[in-house]
Amino acid sequence: MQGMNLLQALILGLVEGITEYLPVSSTGHLLIVQRLLGIVESEASNSYAIAIQAGAIVAVLGTYRQRVGAILEGFIGRNPGGLNLGLCIIVAFLPAAVLGTLLNDRIEQTLFGVKPVIAAWVIGGVLILALSKWIDARRNGKSLDQITWQAALIIGLAQCVAMLPGTSRSLVTILGGLAVGLSLSAAVEFAFLLGVVTLSAATAYTALKHGDGMLAAYGWPALLTGFIAAWIAAALAVKWMVGWLNRHGLMLFAWWRFIAAAAAAWLLL
């Protein structure tokens, strides 16, 4: 089986970290970049792309450590607001957990490819443009402290759409948050915190099911390189994205998706 050198691992880690929490689909970017680097599609390559998400998870835990601390205090009875938010995150996670378990293998077999990713990038970009005025009108909604479990469930159902490669979990959960009345900043923060739970579950599942095969194919040095690169890149990307969205909204990411789709089509099709 083809291996992976440390430069390839570094590039994939940077791509994962930069794109994981941006509404542009990290899965789509990683799939395309793997092909450009000459890494053939395999169970090991797909598992590697999921495993290095752990770096992005650590980045968000560091960035939102005060909020995460409040949630942990809530679970031990010291912070009612943190408890409510923690329970809402669990509620939002459940739909994807159930559908992911049922449909993950089928999605990998049928939709992990260049053409589905390109199509999803374009559709997502069109959606952002179509909803741009609606998004701007909802910048000043409810704070994260006002979220209810019913609203969280709707966001969780929206997250299920992101199981389709190229869609972007961040995009659909942010739009779901806006749809239930959260402000743009609150919707983004909830999307990030929900991502920590969702990505942690996906990473743990992959490690248990495919970890040995992935390590046999690529080795610990490649995995650690990708993890560290994703950690650093995600920490910077999250900080930049929050500032950008508060000032400019999502429009930039529509054009990002169009350019990525055109580049992938030109280079790979």
pLDDT at 110: 60
Record the tokens describing residue 56, joined without a space.
């992005």
User: What is the reported pLDDT for 42?
Assistant: 86
- Which residues have a Cβ under 8 Å from the Cβ of 264 and sit 6 or more positions away? 32, 114, 117, 118, 121
Find tokens 């739909």 and name the residue: 95
Does a structural domain hold residue 150? yes
Q: What is the pLDDT of residue 1?
A: 47
Q: What is the reported pLDDT for 191?
A: 96
**Which pair of tokens denotes residue 251?**
């429009």
- Which residue, among 49, 44, 52, has the nearest Cα to 216 in the 3D structure? 44
Query: 3-state SS string over 232-267?
Result: HHHHHHHHHHHHHHHHHCCHHHHHHHHHHHHHHHHH
110 domain-assigned:
yes
Number of domains comprising the chain: 1
Query: What are the beta bridge partners of residue 142?
Result: 182
Q: Which of 174, 169, 164 is nearest to 141 (CA)?
A: 174
Determine whether 201 is exposed, middle or buried from the number of CB atoms within 10 Å of its CB (0-12, 13-18, 19+): middle
| Per-residue pLDDT at 9 | 96
Q: Could you tell me how far CA 55 lies from the centroid of its own chain?
A: 12
Domain encompassing residue 117: 6-268
- Residues 6 or more apart whose Cβ sits within 8 Å of residue 232: 17, 55, 59
Write down the pLDDT at residue 108. 66
Q: Radius of gyration of the chain from Cα atoms?
A: 18
Ordered per-residue pLDDT tens for the chain, 269 residues: 468 999 999 999 999 999 999 999 998 899 889 989 999 888 899 899 999 999 999 999 999 999 999 999 999 999 999 999 999 999 999 999 998 878 766 766 665 678 889 999 999 999 999 999 999 888 889 999 999 999 999 999 999 998 888 899 999 999 999 999 999 999 999 999 999 999 999 899 888 888 999 999 999 999 999 999 999 999 999 999 989 988 888 999 999 999 999 999 998 86
pLDDT at 43: 86
- Residue 96 is predicted with a pLDDT of 92
> In this predicted structure, what is the pLDDT of residue 62?
93
Tell me what pLDDT residue 2 has: 64
DSSP code for 160: G
Query: Which pTM does this prediction carry?
Result: 0.91
Q: What is the pLDDT of residue 231?
A: 97
Q: Kindly report the backbone phi and psi dihedral angles of residue 182, in degrees, each rounded to the nearest multiple of 5, phi listed first.
A: -70, 150
The verdict on residue 1 lying in a domain is: no
